[in-house]
Structure 1
Amino acid sequence: MNDPIYTFLLTVNDETTRVTVRPADTLLYVLREKLGLTGSKPGCLNGDCGACTVLVDGVPMKSCLMLAIEAEQKKITTIEGLQDTPIQRAFVEQFAFQCGYCTSGFIMNCHALVQTKPNATEAEIKKWLESNICRCTGYEEISEAVHSVLGNLERDT
């Protein structure tokens, strides 16, 4: 039995492309395998690690949990769509990565944080960072990168 095929327009990084997918294709699969955007990483493939995080209409979403067909008429932003943003520079300046596998997911999540909560408290930053997992480094440098972008040097405890 053949799977049904769906064709629709997908807007990724401000470019609209016609894609053909199976109903079960995840957004992560389509981004990587059909569009060649490999910045979103397959980690756990069950929504725990956050390595596949993208922005869907500005909101962080784990692309391994989202079906591609759910992205129709939505604006998707991947790490490739960010161009020298303050959070990207801060990650480099604060050494907020080691092996780098999880970095794109963290950057996408942190970019959304600084865009939506420019006065984020320490507790809010910690809560947002809980949605991504890094096995190589502590979260201190990542938190410092967020603080440097927010200009939030005074931390609430």
Structure 2
Amino acid sequence: MTTFRLNVNGRQHSVDADSDTPLLYVLRDDLKLNGAKFGCGLGQCGACTVLLDKEAVMSCLVPVATIGTREVRTVESLANGALQRAFVDEQAAQCGYCIAGMMVRAQALLERGGTPSAAEIRRHMAVNLCRCGTHMRIMRAIERALHEGRSA
């Protein structure tokens, strides 16, 4: 076990973990941040997506030892923000399992700036899977947030 200092959602945390422990496990088990979900554990579904220095990454694939001083942001950092409002307004969540990862990946796109086309949004979001079929509502929520100049 090694002690790691992590900057998560703007707060410093010290956690004891094996160096190869996935960031997802540290977030959920040690820091009790349960927004990122365990889906496949293989980086194929996106339910565990977090921002790592503004880049959307699948936390099930990121060993805690590789974080260093980079900033980690989870869906909890987006709570009550404009992107969340857009997802609510568009009724983008059905079962809710994928939504945290979807919102985080969408936030990464919003923070890039510019005005991506619908095709660019689809391409960016294609990495994250939704089994309920709310893809069109998710797309509308992202477009709404972009159109209204919203970001959390």
Shift in Å at residue 95 of structure 1?
0.7
Of the two, which has the highest radius of gyration? 1
Say whether residues 1:78 and 2:77 are aligned partners: no
Whether the 8 Å contact between 2:93 and 2:134 is mirrored in structure 1 is: no
Q: Which structure 2 segments of 5+ residues have no match?
A: none
Of 127, 140, 144, the residue aligned with 2:140 is 144
State the superposition RMSD in angstroms. 1.2
Which sections of structure 1, spanning at least 5 residues, go unmatched?
153-157
Deviation at 1:137, TM superposition (A): 1.8
Tell me, yes or no, if the aligned pair for 1:51 and 1:105 is still in contact at 8 Å: yes
Whole-Å separation in 2 of the counterparts to 1:118 and 1:44? 32
Q: Which residue of 2 aligns with 1:65?
A: 61
Deviates more, 1:110-119 or 1:126-135: 110-119
SS state at 2:61 partner: coil
2:50 matches 1:54? yes
Identify the structure with the greater helix proportion. 2
Q: What do residues 44-89 of structure 1 show as CA deviations (whole Å, max 9, x unaligned)? A: 1100100000000011010001001111211000011123222111
1:89 matched to 2:81? The reply is no
- For the pair 1:106 / 2:102, whether they are aligned, the reply is yes
Identical aligned pairs, as a percentage?
Answer: 39
Q: Aligned residues, how many?
A: 148
Q: Which segments of structure 1 move beyond 2 Å, counting only runs of 4 or more?
A: none
> Scaled by the length of structure 2, what TM-score is found?
0.93
Q: TM-score with structure 1 length normalisation?
A: 0.90
